[in-house]
Amino acid sequence: MNKRKKATIHDIASKLGITASTVSRALNNHPRISDATKKLVTKAAKDINYQPNNIAAALRNGKSRLIGIIVPTVNRNFFSSVVRGIEEIANQLNYKVIISQSYENFEQEVQIVDTLLSARVDGIIMSISKNTENFEHLDRVKEKNIPLVLFDRITDSVEVNQVVIDDYMGAYKTVEHLIANGYKRIAHFTNPRKINIYSERMRGYIDALKAHGMEYDQNLVIESNMQLEDGQQCVKTMLDQGLEFDAIFSSSDYAAMGALQALKERGIAIPAQVGLAGFGNEPFTSFTTPSLTSVDQVSIPMGNVAAELFFELLKADPKKYVPQKTVLKPDLIIRESSTRTPSKPNSTPNSK
Amino acid sequence: MNKRKKATIHDIASKLGITASTVSRALNNHPRISDATKKLVTKAAKDINYQPNNIAAALRNGKSRLIGIIVPTVNRNFFSSVVRGIEEIANQLNYKVIISQSYENFEQEVQIVDTLLSARVDGIIMSISKNTENFEHLDRVKEKNIPLVLFDRITDSVEVNQVVIDDYMGAYKTVEHLIANGYKRIAHFTNPRKINIYSERMRGYIDALKAHGMEYDQNLVIESNMQLEDGQQCVKTMLDQGLEFDAIFSSSDYAAMGALQALKERGIAIPAQVGLAGFGNEPFTSFTTPSLTSVDQVSIPMGNVAAELFFELLKADPKKYVPQKTVLKPDLIIRESSTRTPSKPNSTPNSK
């Protein structure tokens, strides 16, 4: 299998009849090496297609100038925007970024952590999979003193730098907005997994209801995987079961979109009969009819902060460093799907 | 800077008072090494947090089991779906994937090619940036016998495996569909860059018009960067200039979406007064009102084929291998924005 063998400094050395150490110093522009030798070495390196080996350099000094990012999927505006925010900072510092996807699969997440470590990234910035409940792979990263930063989907089981938005406040403000628009039976779409983002949004939902003297009815909390089809199905089930509701606050824009489609299909007017709000501010939320109220997760700033925490950690002494948690304020983006005159009496779909 | 120094087999060897070669053979489960020694070595490796170095192994045998993917951006359903298609095949063969983004920036593209090569990926699968007109960085990859596969955005300047859809046919079928729906003045949104996808779609547009005895009017070809805002602006300019048109075939779904918004804003009925079709079948095209006709680029199969060509190349003798070009058939997805009764006489927006 010689055909893919890489040229080394030894090849240059034997070609020129000098030592490998002289070649190395020539390539690194060492002052003790003559310009004539440097020229010879540079030419020989080019002739045999020698590639200065950054990885070998990384093995020596622990710096590959490469950050590994792990996200559940890049096919969500939120995650790809956080990556962009990370790259904005990384590129200024001449760092490059490589991305891997866990596809919400725990095994895959563990494997790509190992892949990135083997690729000698200088550190990892990641958002954990919905299904991750065991965090030994993160402990391994920490034990090796490899900088690790978590964003959005975090865990308190590992002491590391974390960046989140205030999911509780995002949910609270959304529900408060729905109440101000006269909605009285507000359903909540959530995910049964025990990860921070969904439990915090649920907490915000419940507290906002209570703060406004409204009953918290567990029947109005609908669990699903919150994809588009789940949103459609949840609405159909709610309608078919005769559940009384006049608004939906969905922890996912995709499920909110599915709800919008199913409600329109049944001839239910949005926002007149049912108000609707999502979470994530995916670009399509401004394209729908009616446009969809949603919570913006300030993804670019989140990426910026994650990168800044990463570089802070990179230059710190890991033994003395105290991990930080940064909490960013989300923005409620009010659009047509939840805006109506609250004084106007409206009938809920199942109350005749 | 010792704190991040990685443990090596030399550390294990000196700890146990044996040779590094014995440590290496023990870790690789060599039959000549006793089970007792293997146990000792394994324990010592764990104690000092030694990480078997896949990269070092890759340096020896040229196999990191890692594929580097370069896309203009992951924030397009098309690109993230192609990546998924590549991963479907790669995972079956126990290969992992890392992704980098060029952000349509030539300098960045060149740098990440070098980054991936330095990270010793076994090969690269990529879609070139809109602005790439110099291909020396691809020549360098080829010269090193690193497998390289291009998809969607390709170039004929470098002889490599390529996967594209039949952009010409996708455009031809779309324009034919618009003609069948009674549209007579069909505008075309395109990008001024000379990359294959846009020129092929333009060719399909022109040929479909001619095949149906319709005039090709250069005034109806509007060049822009084809983002959402560009589509809005193009429509406004067309209307303000009094350009007569009754349909738009956009080479980008984003520009088509912008056109849809601008047309609705001006009170122009879609599809009654103006028909509209995009390209790319981004998920939001089915969420809009009216839903948007578009060309599906069979992204998952494209990723599958790109990965298959990659593995074929990986095991082939690069000196004997003849690069292939695979052309996939796109699907025209007909939705509301272009479907009307062709017999009904309709006025174009600027003809009173």
d(CA A272, CA A43): 75
> Which residue from B54, B77, B287 is facing A118, i.e. has the nearest CB?
B54
| Candidate from A11-15, A185-189, B139-143 with smallest mean pLDDT | A11-15
Examine residue B271 and say whether the peptide bond preceding it is cis (omega within 30 degrees of 0).
yes
Predicted pLDDT at A119? 77
Set out the domains of chain A in order of their start, with CATH numbers. Answer: 9-52 (1.10.260.40), 61-164+299-329 (3.40.50.2300), 167-297+333-338 (3.40.50.2300)
pLDDT at B329 over 50: yes
CA distances from B134 to A199, B99, B118, B128, B140 (A): 51, 22, 21, 11, 12
| Candidate from A16-25, A106-115, A324-333, B72-81 with smallest mean pLDDT | A16-25
Is the ipTM higher than 0.90? The answer is no
Residue with tokens 């969420």: B287
Interface mutation vs chain B, best among A1, A95, A98, A263, most B CBs within 10 Å: A98
% of residues, chain A, pLDDT over 70:
90
Q: What is the mean pLDDT of residues B231-238?
A: 97
Tally A–B CB contacts below 8 A: 140
Which residue does chain A place closest to B70, by CA atoms? Answer: A98
Q: What is the mean pLDDT of residues B291-310?
A: 95
Give the confidence band of B44 by pLDDT, cuts at 50, 70, 90: confident
pLDDT at A10 over 80: no
A151 closest CA partner among A198, A104, A83: A83
Which residue does chain A place closest to B66, by CA atoms? Answer: A115
Taking CB atoms and an 8 Å limit, are B49 and A97 in contact across chains?
Answer: no
Per-residue pLDDT tens over the stretch A203-256:
999 999 999 999 999 999 999 999 999 999 999 999 999 999 999 999 999 999
Predicted pLDDT at B132? 85
> Contact, A289 vs A257, CB < 8 A?
no
> What average pLDDT does the structure give for chain B?
88
A297 closest CA partner among A186, A163, A101: A163
Q: What is the mean pLDDT of residues B66-85?
A: 95
d(CA A283, CA A277): 14
CA dihedral (A130, B304, B176, B293) in degrees, to 10, reads: 0
**Alpha carbon B66 to chain centroid distance?**
18
Pick from A115-129, B220-234, B319-333 the range whose average pLDDT is largest. B220-234
Give the confidence band of B301 by pLDDT, cuts at 50, 70, 90: very high
Q: Which residues of A touch B284 (CB under 8 A)?
A: 283-284, 287
Per-residue pLDDT tens over the stretch B154-192:
988 888 999 999 999 999 999 999 999 999 999 999 998
CA distance B38 to chain A (A): 22
Q: What is the mean pLDDT of residues A62-76?
A: 89
Taking CB atoms and an 8 Å limit, are A51 and B118 in contact across chains?
Answer: yes
Give the confidence band of A350 by pLDDT, cuts at 50, 70, 90: low
* Rg of chain A over all Cα atoms, to the nearest angstrom: 27
Give the confidence band of B109 by pLDDT, cuts at 50, 70, 90: very high
Predicted pLDDT at B346? 47
d(CA B144, CA A3): 9
| Candidate from A10-14, A136-140, A246-250 with smallest mean pLDDT | A10-14
Predicted pLDDT at B261? 95
Give the confidence band of B349 by pLDDT, cuts at 50, 70, 90: low
CB atoms within 10 A of CB A92: 10
Q: Which residues of B touch A145 (CB under 8 A)?
A: 3-4
Residue predicted with more confidence, A351 or A290: A290
DSSP designation for A293: B
Extract the tokens encoding B149.
């596969």
Q: What is the mean pLDDT of residues B7-16?
A: 80
Residue predicted with more confidence, A352 or B265: B265
Predicted pLDDT at A56? 46
Predicted pLDDT at A345? 47
B266 closest CA partner among B228, B292, B232: B232
Q: Which helix (H) or strand (E) holds A89?
A: helix A77-92
> What average pLDDT does the structure give for chain A?
88
CA distances from B7 to A57, A59, B2, B118 (A): 16, 10, 11, 22
Query: Could you give the 3-state DSSP secondary structure of residue A276?
Result: strand
pLDDT at B343 over 80: no
d(CA B352, CA B350): 6
Predicted pLDDT at B314? 87
